[in-house]
Amino acid sequence: MLLPTVLLLSLAAAPPPEDISAATRAWEEGRLARLQSDDGWLTLVGLGWLKEGSNTAGSDGKAVVVFPQSAPGSMGTFTRSGTSVSFQPAPGVTVTRGGKPFPGGAVQTDQEGHTEPDVFQLGRLRFQVIVRGDRIGVRIKDPEARARKEFKGIPTYPASARWRLTARWEPVNPPTEIAVPNVLGQVERSPSPGTAVFTVDGKEYRLTPVLEEGSPELFFVFADETNRTETYGAGRFLYAAPAKDGTVILDFNRAYNPPCAFSAFATCPLPPRQNRLALRVDAGEKRPAH
């Protein structure tokens, strides 16, 4: 039986089905490369919160902002005035910013709406000032961190087409705001453009994402019933993008651990109340082995 030419062309042009295992493996390789990079979350070694006024910094154990032992005992002073911060290196201590010696002065934080935050370097250490609600802190990274050197990878569930779901997208225009708690005990209001609605084993579930400044993707912070025993107890993260046809592909094979799963010095969001699923999501990253 001869097939019509149009049908033959259609069959020839049809893309092959995506290999879920290969696609997930490629994503995991990129994820691990970013995590283990010189500036990845495994290099995080310190976080000191600034009080109003003067805050000493160094490795002598008496400083307000405690640096690793590779730093001088007294390496400088941070001064907080409301939401503004300045830093003055101690005499004889060379701190660079953008590859040039920093003589002291105002510091650009990572507060939303700002340009790129200042990243300072002291020997092999890097540090910057972060804003979390009404708290301002100094985040310190070390490429020689023990967590990075001893990292053994992340256990994962086998990739499965069952967990690559097409969800219905229910937009909200204009975007509303939802309450997102974090590990510091704060609750922040974050913009949310809608809800993804999906079905597993005949039952409907809903996940509400937030928008991150400068990113077109939807950011989901969710919890599920595997958190009790197999996955990270405080939930996992997932990114997705709404399609023009009104759907969202939720590929839970790419659900991953937040930075707090690897470091006590991270400041992670927690799943909002509406994103706690009464469902086992047997996909994505499991709890780190360390």
CA distance 87 to 11: 65
Q: In residues, how long is the chain?
A: 290
Identify whether residues 117 and 163 lie together within a single domain.
no
16 token code pair:
């092959």
72 and 133 fall within a common domain? yes
At residue 10, the pLDDT reads 40
d(CA 221, CA 165) in angstroms, rounded, equals 17
**Residue 172 neighbours by CB distance under 10 Å:** 12
**Domain identity same for 143 and 241:** no
Give residue 188's pLDDT: 93
What is the tally of structural domains in the chain? Answer: 2
Q: End of a domain among 104, 124, 149?
A: 149
Q: How far apart are CA 249 and CA 6, in angstroms?
A: 30
Which of 119, 149, 179 marks a domain boundary? 149
What pLDDT is attached to residue 289? 81
Q: What is the pLDDT of residue 112?
A: 62
The reply to whether 209 falls in a domain is yes
Say whether both 87 and 60 belong to one domain: yes
**What tokens appear for 199 in the block?**
């079905």
Specify whether 92 is located in the same domain as 111: yes
CA distance 140 to 59: 12
86 and 144 assigned to the same domain = yes
Whether 86 is in a domain gets the answer: yes
Looking up residue 88, the CATH number of its domain turns out to be 2.60.200.20
Residue 29 belongs to some domain of the structure: no
Q: Please tell me the predicted confidence (pLDDT) of residue 216.
A: 87
Distance CA 87, CA 80 (A): 9
Residues 143 and 158 in one domain: no
Inside any domain, residue 35: no
| Residue at 162 is within a domain | yes
253 and 174 together in one domain: yes
User: Range of 79's domain?
Assistant: 41-149
- Residue 215: inside a domain: yes
DSSP SS3 for 100: strand
Whether residues 99 and 184 share a domain: the answer is no
Mean pLDDT, consecutive 10-residue stretches, the chain (290 aa), reads 40 56 97 96 97 97 94 97 97 97 96 80 97 96 96 97 97 92 94 97 98 90 97 98 93 98 95 98 92
- The Cα angle at residue 137 between residues 289 and 104, in degrees rounded to 5: 125
For residue 241, being part of any structural domain is answered with yes
Q: Are residues 117 and 170 in the same domain?
A: no
Question: What pLDDT does residue 115 have?
Answer: 67
Pairing of strands 44-49, 187-200: unpaired
pLDDT in the model for residue 9: 36
Residue type, 276: R
Using the 3D structure, point to which of 149, 168, 197 is the last residue of a domain: 149
Residue 196 shares a structural domain with residue 121: no
For 221, the enclosing helix (H) or strand (E) is strand 218-222
Would 10 be classed as within a structural domain?
no
Q: Are residues 168 and 138 in the same domain?
A: no
Tell me the backbone φ, ψ of residue 283, rounded to 5 degrees: -155, 155
